[in-house]
């Protein structure tokens, strides 16, 4: 069945030159034909009525009628009695003018520019998951658990009660109600003595990292990062002009001996760490290393960017307090997020830092985003104050702990001869190591053919070299999916072994 788009609902805008010597009806016809050639008007689009179009461009209706007659005669449009005028589904050969390429005439907007572009990083795209496959996502929550009804009601309440103020412009630092609620939460759960003035709300933690990069880094500065680590953060630092240098990680987290050597070799501007559950290895930065890192930051005057991306998800024992809670000197800029607690599409992250850093972040924010979603921020603040989000976090923590245990049991049952791992005390993934001759990267490739997607360690390496590890995220899959995914991984491991 032919689908008609409602182009007639939009105004047509094109210039008419009354002194040019070309009849107005021909100018109108040529303008519409040009829009059809370049793809602005597509086959089946309905054109405005002659009276409506005449009024919008300031000509007599008969002028538009003559233009449409011309277009009908040339085959660009067709008239349907009692229905209107439509772009023809059988267009004539375009015969574009010299400055319009045949490809442009056929497909619309040009694919390439006529000018040079600056180098760009590879985009961080969603994982390519074939239909019917299961993804052990490295850092995704399960959006099926998102409290949609709760958020919807809170959003509607915010609009009805404060709509006039919330729909206007506001501070790029974020809504004060949410900053106040976050300050209370951070004081009670993470030991941070932050006031609302120390907090800037952002659209997710990635924006928080990018804004910190803009605020802290000058071109040529060195930023030390964990190796293996979180590639999107590296690209944010590089976009700000930094040279990114890797520091190795072991079972105790970031290696301080290697960090000290890197500090001796480079003038370091910042160190980026994920100390609670190191990404991707899940290890926790040892207490002695934490204290030494803060000492080095004070002595060498560099910033510590602490990314606490999944603090809420700690299952065994008490969660370790952030570095920022033990930092009286203002060396640490703390990055957190509510996106994993609520849903990735609800972009709410935040930075906690000294006010001079927050002022700079807000200034940069004002030039690229002006402000966040005030309605959402106010709604989430109300849910924090009411305790609704805290209750949701407790439910998710119980669910994710159960999923971790399901994955651990399934791996031990089906892949114990292929993998070894340590059960993490928290987080949303396992870090597994291939036993013996298992080629983890080859295993990941074969696994795709079995309908399961995993991410090998090479994706988290600065040099991209293979390592015998993979990160198996369990948060986004339920118990049944985890068990089925492990069965598929077992079949893939057997096939990879036979292919060797």
Query: What are the pLDDT digits (tens) for 395-441?
Result: 999 999 999 999 999 999 999 999 999 999 999 999 999 998 899 99
Mean pLDDT of 476-497: 93
Closest by CA position to 206, among listed 313, 310, 324, 337: 337
- Per-residue pLDDT at 99: 38
Residue where the block lists tokens 């906690």: 352
- Per-residue pLDDT at 93: 55
pLDDT tens digits along 428-482: 999 999 998 899 999 999 999 999 999 999 999 999 999 999 999 999 999 999 9
Question: From the centroid of its chain, how far is CA 318?
Answer: 30
- Per-residue pLDDT at 430: 97
Q: Is 174 exposed, middle or buried (0-12, 13-18, 19+ CB in 10 A)?
A: buried
- Per-residue pLDDT at 165: 81
- Per-residue pLDDT at 94: 52
- Per-residue pLDDT at 320: 86
Compute the distance between CA of residue 440 and CA of residue 438 in angstroms, rounded to an integer: 6
Q: What is the DSSP letter of 41?
A: S
Phi-psi region at 282: left, alpha or beta (left = phi > 0; alpha = psi -120 to 50): left
Is the model more confident about 95 or about 218?
218
Query: Would the pLDDT of 101 be above 70?
Result: no
Query: Would the pLDDT of 29 be above 80?
Result: yes
Domain 7-107 CATH assignment equals 1.10.1270.20? no
Question: From the centroid of its chain, how far is CA 8?
Answer: 35
Is the model more confident about 185 or about 128?
185
Query: Would the pLDDT of 9 be above 70?
Result: no
> Could you give the 3-state DSSP secondary structure of residue 315?
coil
pLDDT tens digits along 46-73: 888 888 888 888 889 999 999 999 999 9
Q: What percent of the chain has pLDDT over 90?
A: 59
| Alpha helices (H) in 266-329, listed in sequence order | 287-300
> What are φ and ψ of residue 492, in 5° steps?
-65, -40
Quickly name the fold that domain 149-387 has.
3.40.640
Looking at mean pLDDT, say which of 18-32, 89-103, 451-465 comes out highest: 451-465
Q: Do domains 7-107 and 134-144+392-499 have the same CATH topology?
A: no
Mean pLDDT of 141-168: 86
User: How does residue 19 score in pLDDT terms, banded at 50, 70 and 90?
Assistant: low
- Per-residue pLDDT at 104: 40
- Which residues share a beta bridge with 222? 243, 268
Query: Would the pLDDT of 7 be above 60?
Result: no
Domain 134-144+392-499 CATH assignment equals 3.30.750.24? no
Is the model more confident about 63 or about 122?
63
| Domain positions in the chain | 7-107, 134-144+392-499, 149-387
Is the model more confident about 102 or about 30?
30
Mean pLDDT of 237-245: 95
User: How does residue 106 score in pLDDT terms, banded at 50, 70 and 90?
Assistant: very low
Q: What percent of the chain has pLDDT over 70?
A: 92
Is the model more confident about 496 or about 152?
152
Model pTM?
A: 0.80
Structure tokens at 49: 């009525």
């Amino acid at each position: 069945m032919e689908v008609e788009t409602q182009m007639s609902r939009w105004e047509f805008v094109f210039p008419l030159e009354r002194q040019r010597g070309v009849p107005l009806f021909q100018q109108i016809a040529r303008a519409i034909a040009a829009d059809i050639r370049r793809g602005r008007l597509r086959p089946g689009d309905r054109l405005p009525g002659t009276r409506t179009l005449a009024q919008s461009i300031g000509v007599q209706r008969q002028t538009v009628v003559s233009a449409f007659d011309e277009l009908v005669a040339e085959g660009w449009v067709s008239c349907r009695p009692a229905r209107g005028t439509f772009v023809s589904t059988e267009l004539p050969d375009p015969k574009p003018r010299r400055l319009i390429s045949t490809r442009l005439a056929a497909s619309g907007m040009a694919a390439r520019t006529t000018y040079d572009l600056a180098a760009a990083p590879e985009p961080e795209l969603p994982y390519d998951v074939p239909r019917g496959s299961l993804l052990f996502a490295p850092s995704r929550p399960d959006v099926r658990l998102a409290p949609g009804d709760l958020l919807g009601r809170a959003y509607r309440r915010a609009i009805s009660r404060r709509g006039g103020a919330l729909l206007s412009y506001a501070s790029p630092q974020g809504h004060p109600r949410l900053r106040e609620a976050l300050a209370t939460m951070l004081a009670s759960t993470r030991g941070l003595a932050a006031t609302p003035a120390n907090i800037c709300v952002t659209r997710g933690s990635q924006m928080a990292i990018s804004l910190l990069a803009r605020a802290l880094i000058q071109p040529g500065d060195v930023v030390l990062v964990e190796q293996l680590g979180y590639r999107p953060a590296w690209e944010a630092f590089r976009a700000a002009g930094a040279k990114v240098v890797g520091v190795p990680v072991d079972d105790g987290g970031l290696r301080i001996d290697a960090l000290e050597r890197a500090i001796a070799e480079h003038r370091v501007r910042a160190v980026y760490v994920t100390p609670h559950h190191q990404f991707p290895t899940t290890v926790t930065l040892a207490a002695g290393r934490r204290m030494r890192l803060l000492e080095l930051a004070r002595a060498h005057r560099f910033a510590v960017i602490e990314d606490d991306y999944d603090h809420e998800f700690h299952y065994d024992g008490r969660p370790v307090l952030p570095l920022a809670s033990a930092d009286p000197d203002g060396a640490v800029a703390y990055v957190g997020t509510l996106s994993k607690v609520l849903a990735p599409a609800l972009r709410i992250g935040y930075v906690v830092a000294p006010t001079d850093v927050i002022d700079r972040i807000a200034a940069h924010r004002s030039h690229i985003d002006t402000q966040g979603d005030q309605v959402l921020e106010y709604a989430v603040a109300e849910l924090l104050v009411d305790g609704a989000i805290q209750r949701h976090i407790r439910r998710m923590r119980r669910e994710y702990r159960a999923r971790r245990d399901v994955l651990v049991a399934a791996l031990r049952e089906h892949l114990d001869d292929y993998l070894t791992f340590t059960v993490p005390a928290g987080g949303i993934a396992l870090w597994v190591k291939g036993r013996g001759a298992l080629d983890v990267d080859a295993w990941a490739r074969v696994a795709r053919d079995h309908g399961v997607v995993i991410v090998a360690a090479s994706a988290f390496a600065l040099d991209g070299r293979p390592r015998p590890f993979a990160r198996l995220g369990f948060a986004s899959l339920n118990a049944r999916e985890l068990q089925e995914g492990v069965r598929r991984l077992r079949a893939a491991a057997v096939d990879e072994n036979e292919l060797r």
